[in-house]
Structure 1
Amino acid sequence: MNSLTDTASIFRYHREMIAHYGNNNSHALGWRDDQSQLIRFQVLSQIGDLNHHSVMDVGCGHADLCPYLKAIYPDCRYLGVEQIPELLDRAIERYGHLPETLLFLGDFLTSPLPAADYVLASGSLNYSSSDPEFIYKAISKLFESSRVGFGFNLLRSVSQTGLLKAYNLDTIWAYCQELTTKAVLKDDYSEEDFTIFLYH
């Protein structure tokens, strides 16, 4: 889905952020601040009752979604997949000891994925791609990878052009409604972001 050039750009971007901000904060992940990350976690956590379900966080970064979800749903099983080794190492250091938690290295768009009840993508689909069909292929694959539902957020505006891409809400919503009649749109929590839940 992503070309080698696209992937190299993503690696370079995060390694530059780590070099500038260090690898112990949300800036390394490309978030403006912790609060902007937290708001998205709050919305994604509303996808359903995650207790006694497996949740796969694709492009998990430092896996900060893991303790957030476990505080609300202590009986959920968390799977985090991340393609950038430096980010994954920090995730394992922080949360690898938690029960029912598995963190592993992989590109969620090209690697085989374990089965999971829910799949969540927070910020990991916001990168520009040389493939104009990238976002549709990604949404379709990740929805198919879930047994119960898939939740993701996308930017609808970006402050500057470059690696991050904004998407037209109406276009994405129309595509999602072609995949399933069980879809929920949440677009009232941020002027720059929206979230969609797709259910089987």
Structure 2
Amino acid sequence: MNIIDKAVMNSYHDMRVKEFGEGTVEALGWLDKTSQLSRFAMLAGIGDMNNHSVLDVGCGYGDLREYLGERYPDLHYSGLDQAGAFLAVASERYQLPNTTFLLGDFFTAELPHTDYVLLSGSLNYKSSDPDFIYKMISKLFNACEIACGFNLLSKINDPGGILMAYDPDKIMNHCLTLTDNVVLHNQYCDGDFTVWMYRK
């Protein structure tokens, strides 16, 4: 993403915060809490995260920390986001053991290696780089020691807006160039799909 892409994305979230309020799932771009949780449920099934490190890329308000913690109480969680305002809410909301929030531009910064790398919703924005999505998937997978999981949109209501839809088959084809152990889930939510990629 270039500086213009990022400015458009930041403006979009500023507008959502003004409309829906700071700390809401709608401010992050989700339709509602149910929409957010349906994605979290798919990511949480990628593997047993107890006693493992987890990197939540584009963590927003850190809500995935709470969701995963209820299922894997012994996980070690790090949330990374480029929006300081989001992280301020996350840090106040989730003052939990083995929990760290990091400020950084995950599009350009080197990602810390962790057992599980997860991403929910943060790759749904349009980019001026047609290969952006493939570069990011490779980057996410290279940072994981066990598995990487992410979700993408397969359908959008406003093609002229900020969001981007992807063909699951094309995404799968790219993932299979990185590992032959890839699982696609696309029956849980209309217009959305989740990919699990494993090292072994």
TM-score (norm 2): 0.97
Alignment of 1:121-136 (within 5 A): 121-136=119-134
Which residue identity lines up with residue 143 of structure 2 in the other structure?
S
Q: What is the CA–CA distance in structure 2 between the aligned matches of 1:158 and 1:85, rounded to whole Å?
A: 28
Which residue identity lines up with residue 182 of structure 2 in the other structure?
A
For residues 129-182 of structure 1, the C-alpha deviation after alignment (integer angstroms, 9 at most, x for no partner) is 000000000000010011111000000001112111000111111111111001
Look up the SS of the partner of 1:47 in the other structure.
coil
Unaligned regions of 5+ residues in structure 1, if any? none
Q: What is the CA–CA distance in structure 1 between the aligned matches of 2:183 and 2:97, rounded to whole Å?
A: 31
Match of 2:51 in 1: 52
Which residue identity lines up with residue 69 of structure 2 in the other structure?
K
Unaligned regions of 5+ residues in structure 2, if any? none
Q: What is the CA–CA distance in structure 2 between the aligned matches of 1:156 and 1:115, rounded to whole Å?
A: 28
Match of 1:151 in 2: 149
2:19 is equivalent to residue 15 of structure 1:
no
Look up the SS of the partner of 1:149 in the other structure.
strand
Q: What is the CA–CA distance in structure 1 between the aligned matches of 2:120 and 2:52, rounded to whole Å?
A: 19
Match of 1:160 in 2: 158
1:113, distance to aligned residue in structure 2 (A): 2.0
Match of 2:77 in 1: 78
Match of 2:137 in 1: 139
Q: What is the CA–CA distance in structure 1 between the aligned matches of 2:195 and 2:102, rounded to whole Å?
A: 25
Look up the SS of the partner of 1:7 in the other structure.
helix
Alignment of 1:167-178 (within 5 A): 167-178=166-177
Which residue identity lines up with residue 175 of structure 2 in the other structure?
C
Match of 1:103 in 2: 101
Which deviates more, 61-70 or 108-117? 108-117
1:78, distance to aligned residue in structure 2 (A): 0.6
Which deviates more, 15-24 or 49-58? 15-24
Q: What is the CA–CA distance in structure 2 between the aligned matches of 1:62 and 1:80, rounded to whole Å?
A: 9
1:51, distance to aligned residue in structure 2 (A): 0.3
Q: What is the CA–CA distance in structure 2 between the aligned matches of 1:164 and 1:85, rounded to whole Å?
A: 22
Q: What is the CA–CA distance in structure 2 between the aligned matches of 1:31 and 1:125, rounded to whole Å?
A: 13
Which residue identity lines up with residue 139 of structure 1 in the other structure?
I
Look up the SS of the partner of 1:140 in the other structure.
helix
Q: What is the CA–CA distance in structure 1 between the aligned matches of 2:109 and 2:40, rounded to whole Å?
A: 25
Look up the SS of the partner of 1:178 in the other structure.
coil
Q: What is the CA–CA distance in structure 2 between the aligned matches of 1:10 and 1:116, rounded to whole Å?
A: 27
Which residue identity lines up with residue 120 of structure 2 in the other structure?
S
Q: How many residues align?
A: 198
Match of 1:39 in 2: 38
Same amino acid, percent of matched pairs? 49
Look up the SS of the partner of 1:113 in the other structure.
coil
Q: What is the CA–CA distance in structure 2 between the aligned matches of 1:5 and 1:166, rounded to whole Å?
A: 20
Which residue identity lines up with residue 114 of structure 1 in the other structure?
P
How large is the Cα RMSD of the aligned pairs? 0.7
TM-score (norm 1): 0.97
For residues 15-58 of structure 1, the C-alpha deviation after alignment (integer angstroms, 9 at most, x for no partner) is 11111111121011000000000000001000000001000000
